[in-house]
Structure 1
Amino acid sequence: MDADKYPPEDGRRRFVKGIVGSAALTGIGTAGATVLNATTTIGGGTGGPTDYVGIENTDGPAPRGMPIIPITIDDDGYLKGVWPEVKQKELDNGETIRITSQQIGEVTYTGRWFQYCGVQTAEGLRPEADQDNFLRSKPGLYEWQSDHEQGQKLHVDDFGDYEEWTNGIGTAGTGKPAQTTWRSQSENGEDVQEMPVQVLRSPKVSDLPENSDHESFLRAATESDFVAWLDKCTHFCCTPGFNASQNASKFDATDAVYCQCHQSVYDPFSPVELSFNAFPRPE
């Protein structure tokens, strides 16, 4: 696994400054910082300082929250993640590249949000990729998904009991989670590098916009009580789970997203604005 090697947050809840200047890196001299800056800004301008909205990291060693994936539901009731618009960008050297960027409310949503922990190499993050945007079931973490086929599209009806669902770990009715993949299957059905995503349907999601600094973004990014995020712990790239581990209660992490590898905890009902240095996409 690729470790996520960025400095920890400074403790402020609503906005966390990331690495902006090369000399701001703790324990790295100017020369070393220059090298690191180069590795995060080359690659056609596809990496570097990135602002995003994620579910808040509330405990443990993780340096920041995991990025939210805007959700939409198609006319047939299937769940899809919103992929930002593909655009042309001209660099200072005259080269033209394709980037992904879209304004959603007051937030600039880009593919950079997901460029860490090795995900930056996923085919699904390339602007020209032909992967579809359906959230596809990945059975294993939750018993209720055991009757699903690997890769089948998730439907609203799969979450019909979300207002009372429980697996005995968290509080009944807090929400029903699912483990999924996103942009990990091409239009012709070929599997590619996995992008793990967790989706949660909870009555508490409808309250997120009015209780957040990013009301218009969250109104557009959540639908029918669904919220989703890239399921890569920002500490050491593990895949945490909402009410997925019996050990969560030992760390006050029930009704939260708990990473049992190193005890990081995330609150899916507390979206925050954050900043980090995204790795560039290959080439």
Structure 2
Amino acid sequence: MSESDKYPAESGRRRFVKGVVGGATLAGVGVLGTTSINATTNASGAGGGSTQAYAIENVAGPAPRGMPQIPIEIDDEGYIRGVWPEVQTVEQNGVEVQLAQTQLGGTTYSSEWFQYCGVESYEGLDPTYESDNYFRSGSAPPYAWQQESKSEGDRFNISDFDDYETWGNGIGEAGIGKPAAGNWRSQDAEDVIPVQMIRSERIEEAAQNNEWLNASTSQGVIAWLNKCTHFCCVPGYKTTGSSATFGGANAVYCQCHQSVYDPFSVVQTLFVARPRPE
């Protein structure tokens, strides 16, 4: 089996070789191609179409691309929130639509990054949805530390990650990053936007020499929309021991179909965002 094979040998499928933090390779347009997909996704709705985003890289399994990064900021009290772009009215395909969009770290950051897997219909993705944008703990967090210290709806503080240089839970290698799972822009909304974050020395180091990571992360904290780009399952970082079988012990692993994502490898990805329903 060659190095370019896409899937881990243990799965009997094919794999491809992963990239590095700050890579600029464009990938993941999809098997149908940009032109044919655009024809079906731009017929109605707000926004959508060919979109370039930063994502944590898909390094194994059937997922067509990485999961989009959510830029973060930390307030004066240490609470962590996702950056939501300014709401603008733009013209797309001759139609004026509202879009949350801004320039950040030398790139165009847009709400269209998250318009896939049905999330485009979630109330929280409406550009004008009122939210304080803080990441909040869910009702059934997968980590013992979070179960013990957080109630549903609690915000995350940078102090929650004080032991990030040593944290481990018996899965993979300890000390490479401390995770949390929660939701974003979902208070009083019917649908919950799932997010995951990690605080890691690797991210701190990478951000020193990378314009995008310097602007989109803080104190080693990186976050992403936690929806697998294959069949929209919710993956996890160090949440299942079986991840080691498919090379995901130190990565984000989706146990539905064995897709693996590297949270320490951030790349640009090109995909076709779905329009938000009108």
TM, length-normalised to structure 2: 0.86
Distance (Å, rounded) in 2 between the aligned partners of 1:178 and 1:171: 17
- Structure 1 segment 19-30 matched on structure 2, within 5 A: 19=29, 25=32
Q: Report deviation, 1:281.
A: 0.2
Given the alignment of the two structures, is residue 183 of structure 1 paired with residue 185 of structure 2, yes or no?
Answer: yes
Runs of 5+ in structure 1 lacking a partner? Answer: 1-8
Change (3 A) 1:245 1:45: same
Residue number in structure 1 paired with 2:146: 145
Change (3 A) 1:169 1:112: same
Change (3 A) 1:207 1:97: same
Equivalent pair of 1:18/1:277 in contact (CA under 8 Å): no
- Structure 1 segment 33-72 matched on structure 2, within 5 A: 33=36, 36-43=37-44, 46-72=47-73
> What letter matches 1:200 in structure 2?
I
Q: Report deviation, 1:261.
A: 1.1
**Does the residue aligned with 2:270 lie in a helix, a strand or coil?**
strand
Number of residue-to-residue matches in the alignment:
258
Residue number in structure 2 paired with 1:3: none
Equivalent pair of 1:71/1:221 in contact (CA under 8 Å): yes
Residue number in structure 1 paired with 2:25: 15
Match of 1:275 among 259, 270, 277: 270
Q: Report deviation, 1:16.
A: 2.5
- Structure 1 segment 1-283 matched on structure 2, within 5 A: 13=19, 14-17=24-27, 19=29, 25=32, 33=36, 36-43=37-44, 46-91=47-92, 93=94, 95-138=95-138, 139-147=140-148, 148-185=150-187, 190-209=188-207, 215-283=210-278
Distance (Å, rounded) in 2 between the aligned partners of 1:64 and 1:92: 25
Q: Report deviation, 1:234.
A: 0.6
Change (3 A) 1:87 1:203: same
TM, length-normalised to structure 1: 0.84
Change (3 A) 1:130 1:246: same
Identity of aligned residues (%): 48
Q: Report deviation, 1:133.
A: 0.3
Distance (Å, rounded) in 1 between the aligned partners of 2:84 and 2:263: 20
Q: Which portions of structure 1, spanning 4 or more consecutive aligned residues, are displaced by more than 6 angstroms?
A: 9-12
Structure 1, 131-140 or 258-267: larger mean CA deviation:
131-140
Structure 1, 260-269 or 200-209: larger mean CA deviation:
200-209
Distance (Å, rounded) in 2 between the aligned partners of 1:163 and 1:18: 33
Q: Report deviation, 1:193.
A: 1.2
**Does the residue aligned with 2:70 lie in a helix, a strand or coil?**
coil
Equivalent pair of 1:71/1:81 in contact (CA under 8 Å): yes
> What letter matches 1:166 in structure 2?
G
